[in-house]
Structure 1
């Protein structure tokens, strides 16, 4: 039985054969080209070529019989949303939803990918919203480890994904983290290293010249003889960058046993606190989004560094106020 799919704004300008490969992943490319040659694919009511560029709002018709399980579902609108989110995933705080992006405050202890993950929650949340493409799927645009809390961006449109990813590659998006580290750090530090990834052991380490450059700046906010509360800015985005560089420079994250940190219940403490997004990417002006610090993190800050420091974090002030209060 023939079926039709209404293309959305995110499909604008894409090649028809690439759209069809997403819609019909069970068919080899040769079979898709055969359907096109036989005139069984219509775009806007007309025969189309593999190289045809599609337009949002066009109707794509496939005059071919497929089994029900092979038929792509039309996503002009999403399905009815389940009344319950994925099991075991607390509703994250939404900090931004516009311009093709959904930026959340990730709770600690939640996976970003996989079953019962933050990605599962995002798919549930978006399921009743109007789809911008029958083939586009929202997904995370960068990484956070399971134990790390704070800001993480998901795409809700192809354009949003492309613009954000390009800005990340060009290092126009600045990300700042809060961390508790082993040892007392008395002043600003800059770490520039080469990191390589051991995929078998699932760890990163300092590498040779064949690795990738990693650059991190650190400002201590409070310290004692055993630990330091620090603000860190990463100018590159390597896997486990803060964790491995902190350990390599003698200050592993408190509780990060994987990288040599001292044992500490509930650790490691790492929070993606602030994201600075350049003008004209999601708004006309530069935007600074800040994720409130989790209560568990605040309690440990108060326990280690005192109530005054903990209170300083509560109202999510911009980080430039903290940098001005560096330990002398």
Structure 2
């Protein structure tokens, strides 16, 4: 029979609203309506007193959490655990509430229809005892690889999200574009969505401003390696801006780049305190080396 828990708010958890704290502690399977009822009926208390769902918690406060019936998760056997470890994501940087991992192509950031394996789920397996579950602070398309940032504390997550929203983070991508790209360009477009629900495409026209800098690295007759520095962060921005100029990305079937793996990689993210980068694992003529990136 579950018992009452008395949990001390850690520095990583501080700053969250009580409702968020309970949701993270008890899991997403617990209905929001139940969490609200537990708080409003006084079954959840903070430092022995009744609290409101949206009160913010401070370091060192004690939260009384009543027993909540949850199905016990099946304990993984050794074989399952070994499989989980093989799925761990490479860590590029971890400090001061920030975690950077190398996301492989083909892995979505969040679960969705038909997808349960994702970055968020793998982080939960990698950090089962973390006081604050590492949470992705932004998204990369499922088929885009490279640097992805997560917050390992509530304050770290909030800071990253604010920088992505209002500026303060440098984002450099590598891509293989069809055709010859041999001149730098400043790309400015208005991007919006069109098409039926579930099959939307991003198109150039009315919509939000999308801005980027395009720099050729290795021009070729049929394909060119390029660096794109994002100045905004719109859905499918690089894919659409290059495709609209006659240079769809290799492997981008949605926007005219043909089949095969998508050649789009988040190479480098620059924060005020650190720059994190990782080369793509492309092979053959598409392989990228540090020499290609020396000027940058």
Match status 1:290 vs 2:292: no
- SS state of the match for residue 283, structure 2? helix
Map 1:123-272 onto structure 2 (within 5 A). 123-128=124-129, 130-132=130-132, 137-198=133-194, 199-208=197-206, 211-261=207-257, 263=258, 266-272=260-266
Deviations 1:40-69 (A, max 9, x none): 44332x32332755332322224x6x5522
Distance 1:52 1:16 in 2: 6
2:39 and 2:45 in contact (8 A); partners too: no
Q: Is the CA contact 1:221–1:322 (under 8 Å) kept in the aligned structure 2?
A: no
Structure 1: runs of 5+ lacking an equivalent: 72-78, 302-309, 324-328
Summarize deviations over 1:153-192 as a string: whole Å, max 9, x none.
1221111111111111222111111111111112101110
Count of residue pairs the alignment pairs up: 279
Q: Which runs of 5+ in 2 are unaligned?
A: none
Q: 1:217 & 1:239 partners in 2: Cα distance? A: 16
Across the aligned residues of Structure 1 and Structure 2, the Cα RMSD in angstroms comes to 3.0
Cα distance change on mapping 1:110 and 1:190 into 2, 3 Å: same
Are the counterparts in 2 of residues 195 and 213 from structure 1 also a CA contact under 8 Å?
A: yes
SS in 2 for 1:187: coil
Q: Distance in 2 between matches of 1:212 and 1:93?
A: 34
Q: How does 1:14-93 map to 2 (within 5 A)?
A: 14-16=16-18, 19-20=21-22, 23=26, 25-27=31-33, 31-32=37-38, 34-36=40-42, 40-44=43-47, 46-50=48-52, 53-62=56-65, 66=67, 68-69=69-70, 83-86=81-84, 90-93=87-90
- TM-score, with structure 2 as normaliser: 0.82
Larger Rg: 1
